Amino acid sequence: MSLEAQTIHRETFVINLGPQHPATHGVLRIKLTMDGEYIYDAEPVIGYGHRMHEKMGENRTYAKYLPNTARMDYVAAMFNTHGYVCAVERLAGITVPERAEYIRVITAELNRLASHLLWAGAFLIDLGGFTPLLYTFDDREQILDLLESVTGARLTFCYYRFGGVCNDVDDEFVAGTRQFISRLRSRMPMYHALVTKNIIFRKRCEGIGPITAADCRRYGATGPVLRGAGVAYDVRKAEPYSIYPKLDFNVPVYPESDCMARYLVRMDEIVESMRIIEQALDQMPAGPVMAEKVPKFLKPPKGECYFNVESARGSFGVRAISDGTDKAYRLKLRSPCFSNLSLFQECSRGMLLADALALLGSLDLVIPDIDR
Amino acid sequence: MTINNEFILEIVRLVLYAVGLIAFAAFNAAYLSLLERKIPSWFQLRYGPKEVGWWGLLQPVADGLKLLTKQLLVQRGADVVLFKLAPVMVVIPAIMCLATIPFSETIVARNLNLGLLVIFSFSAIHVIGTMLGGWASYNKYASIAAARVVAQNIAYEIPLLLVMVALVMVTHSFNLHTIVDQQAGGFWHWNVLRLSASPLMPVAFIIYFICMLAESNRAPFDMVEAESELIAGAFTEYSGMGFGLFFIAEYANIVVGCALGTILFLGGWHCPFNLLPGLHWFLIKMYFLCFTVIWVRWSFPRTQFYGLLNLSWKVLIPVALAHLMITAIMLKLV
């Protein structure tokens, strides 16, 4: 802060952004202390959507908790289930058939596409452009149709089971996915022409909302926020799980650390996810989709484990401690949105209201994932 | 007796024009709001209103009835008089501006010699109305919007006036009828292509259009509303027809802006190919500009507030000044 700014008499006022506000995408409340249109302090107030998911994990059997996992980050529900299922499988020592692993990766990456497309539209709404949302929803709708055909759900999927997945995919799904990928690939230039090259969009994103790698490290921000700050950290590469080591994909990194970098990271991830899905479809072997002899009431041996997956928003971690009964002794969920939001207070200081909301939008927050 | 007859006739004419203009403004507000939903629905793979009446044609009526039946709530702590006065102060000047607009050779409410000046005087008032509305609301979001609207409109009135002054220098008249008449005989006579007066004439038209968007608080310059930041900006606390009047004023301002653009730059009621001049050409040009306004709104994100001021002070005003200088020099030389 310049000397001049410090010596000027400061008259601030408090403005309540949310819990009902168009820019917060849910019940997030931010207590803004404003100096004119500049933000002096922004204090996120969370917990409006708290449903005690962690405690529920300790009160329910492992299988009964599965549907809960889809209701935290409901925009990218597959990843939460993936993390939880993998953690419990590691605890119980269950091996998953290869075909099931492929199906998990395909559906998870489809979900990542859906999540990023939704984000791109919602981010543009935060910036005041309404039309791109309808286009991204058109694409997302097709993903949801595909996923509905195998999982039976359109949003809160509960598809993965301990030891595999509950339904095998059919040829129709495979053909539909390939068709969708070629369609989305042909639409990417349109998105870039409509949004990325738009002069107003560039002005609103380039150099706006800097989040440095140091900020990310201090607050534990992961995912596109971290990769948009120039750190090539992706759980799929750093701690490979499932069949990701067998697949060839890049981790898009942009060192600019601004909203544009985070936008471009997500747009590139859409392309990379399409590559992953295509490779996985090509390599997918035949075989069972469910491990044999998985007991109905799972009683993992005493022990604990931590399992990390790369969700659409960053690293989603599950720490499960088993005391040998059919319920987890402790279940800790590490939500990427919580860490990504926590840096908002520091990074938004001194920004203009409109820019801070662009920054907030670029974090890609799903509020129930923060509140859990 | 003859004087008396003239007088009565004049009164009747006045009433007719007043009713006609208010009806025109209200009709345009209603059906531009329908187009505002229909046109983006073509871009956005959806239907838009289609249930009320054929092609949703009765939707504006339904909206109007809904707004009329709603209670006009006044926030505790608000300045009641100003709060209720503000929508009126926004909508009346917009309608007044229409009084001097010549729609065709014969259709004009008042053919004033200083028509252009009248329009600019009136169009400056709605800023005060919006500001008062935002300030009287006793709402922090509305106060921020009230502060924004003043800065924005000051910034955009300057390039607008500079462009106008250059145009008046070329046309030697403030009378809109005269200005249109000078542009008769094909589109190459239109002011927008009057390169003999200043090679920057097409640029001047673009400056006019941008300023018109900013003046009527339309996206991408809708800082006053900015629904993703300020909820509904200055109009946050307004309900029922209080909000409805702001809404009518917004569209009336668009109509005035587009009509003025048509008159000043696009030859008013004259045909581009010197055929059949008349009201229809005026309406075609004016609604094409209105369509462009809507088109722009649904294609672009909103600018930042400082981006908007930067555009005005760093780009539009210097260019408009250069245009003014070039026009003056060309006038002296030719």
Residue A203 to residue B299, Cβ atoms within 8 A: no
Instruction: Give CA–CA dist B104/A369, Å, rounded.
Output: 61
Confidence (pLDDT) at B169: 86
Q: B161-180: per-residue pLDDT in tens?
A: 888 888 888 888 888 888 88
Of A13, A15, A357, the CB nearest to B228: A357
Q: What percent of chain A has pLDDT over 90?
A: 16
Within a domain: B201: yes
Q: How far is CA A372 from CA A54, A313, A332, A340, in A?
A: 8, 15, 11, 15
Within a domain: B137: yes
Place of tokens 């019940």: A27
Within a domain: B61: no
Q: Where residue A6 falls among pLDDT bands split at 50, 70, 90?
A: low
Within a domain: B230: yes
Residue B319's domain comprises: 75-333
Confidence (pLDDT) at B110: 75
Pick the closest to residue B70 from B243, B205, B281 (CA basis). B243
Look up residue A365 and give its DSSP letter: -
Pick the closest to residue B238 from B134, B94, B128, B89 (CA basis). B134
**B218 to chain A: nearest residue by CA?**
A128
Query: Which segment, A16-20, A262-266, A368-372, is predicted with the most confidence on average?
Result: A262-266
Confidence (pLDDT) at A116: 92
Instruction: Give CA–CA dist B73/B243, Å, rounded.
Output: 11
Residue A124 to residue B46, Cβ atoms within 8 A: no
Of A128, A129, A201, the CB nearest to B226: A128
Instruction: Give CA–CA dist B142/B136, Å, rounded.
Output: 9
Within a domain: B47: no
Within a domain: B229: yes
Tokens of A61: 């059997």
Whole-complex ipTM: 0.80
Tokens of A41: 């302090």
pLDDT at A301 over 70: yes
The residue count for chain B? 334
Paired residues of A43 in beta bridges: A31
Q: What percent of chain B has pLDDT over 90?
A: 1
Could you give the residue ranges of the DSSP H alpha helices within A60-158?
A: 62-69, 77-92, 98-126, 131-151
Within a domain: B111: yes
Q: What is the dihedral of CA A16, A22, A25, A31, to 10 degrees?
A: -10
Q: Where residue A1 falls among pLDDT bands split at 50, 70, 90?
A: very low
Instruction: Give CA–CA dist B109/B86, Å, rounded.
Output: 26
**B165: distance to nearest CA of chain A, Å?**
29
Angle B82-B84-B85 from CA coordinates, rounded to 5°:
60
Q: Where residue A180 falls among pLDDT bands split at 50, 70, 90?
A: very high
Q: What percent of chain B has pLDDT over 70?
A: 99
Which bin fits A12, alpha (ψ -120 to 50), beta or left (φ > 0)?
Answer: beta
Q: Is A314 helix (H, G, I), strand (E, B) or coil?
A: strand
pLDDT at B189 over 80: no
Pick the closest to residue B294 from B246, B258, B261 (CA basis). B258
Of A22, A124, A203, the CB nearest to B231: A22
**B296 to chain A: nearest residue by CA?**
A129
pLDDT at B290 over 70: yes
Confidence (pLDDT) at B183: 81
Calculate mean pLDDT across residues A71-81.
88
Q: What is the DSSP string of B151-179?
A: HHHHHHHHHHHHHHHHHHHHH--S-HHHH
Phi, psi (degrees; rounded to nearest 5) at A202: -65, -45
If one counts the domains in chain B, the total is: 1
Instruction: Give CA–CA dist A100/A109, Å, rounded.
Output: 14
Are the C-beta atoms of B279 and B269 separated by less than 8 Å?
A: yes
Q: Where residue A181 falls among pLDDT bands split at 50, 70, 90?
A: very high
Neighbour-count burial of B9, counting CB atoms closer than 10 A to its CB (0-12 exposed, 13-18 middle, 19+ buried): exposed
CB of B305 less than 8 A from some CB of A: yes
Q: How far is CA B289 from CA B10, B56, B265, in A?
A: 33, 23, 12
Calculate mean pLDDT across residues A59-82.
88
Of A125, A127, A134, the CB nearest to B44: A134
Q: Cα B318 to the chain's mean position, in Å?
A: 24
- Three-state secondary structure readout of A316-361: EEEEEEECCCCEEEEEEEECHHHHHHHCHHHHCCCCEHHHHHHHHH
Look up residue B109 and give its DSSP letter: S
Q: Residue B62's CB: how many other CB atoms inside 10 A?
A: 14
Confidence (pLDDT) at B195: 76
For chain A, helix (H) and strand (E) counts, in that order, are 16, 8
Confidence (pLDDT) at A8: 54
Chain A residues close to B229, C-beta within 8 Å: 23, 353-354, 357
Confidence (pLDDT) at B223: 76
Look up residue A242 and give its DSSP letter: T
Within a domain: B253: yes
Side chain identity, residue A207? G
pLDDT at B131 over 70: yes
- How many A-B residue pairs are in contact by the CB < 8 A criterion? 78
Pick the closest to residue B24 from B123, B95, B115 (CA basis). B95
Calculate mean pLDDT across residues B25-51.
86
Residue B307 to residue A203, Cβ atoms within 8 A: yes
Instruction: Give CA–CA dist A74/A156, Å, rounded.
Output: 6
Calculate mean pLDDT across residues B288-313.
87
Pick the closest to residue A126 from B38, B327, B202, B304 (CA basis). B304
Q: Where residue A9 falls among pLDDT bands split at 50, 70, 90?
A: low
Q: Which architecture does CATH list for A3-371? A: Orthogonal Bundle (1.10)
Chain A residues close to B227, C-beta within 8 Å: 22, 128
Angle A22-A24-A26 from CA coordinates, rounded to 5°:
95
Q: B53-102: per-residue pLDDT in tens?
A: 888 888 888 888 888 888 888 888 888 888 888 888 888 888 888 888 88
Residue B228 to residue A138, Cβ atoms within 8 A: no
Are the C-beta atoms of A340 and A365 separated by less than 8 Å?
A: yes
Instruction: Give CA–CA dist A18/A48, Å, rounded.
Output: 11
Calculate mean pLDDT across residues A19-34.
82
Q: B254-269: per-residue pLDDT in tens?
A: 888 898 888 888 888 8
Angle B303-B306-B309 from CA coordinates, rounded to 5°:
95
Instruction: Give CA–CA dist B137/B275, Å, rounded.
Output: 52
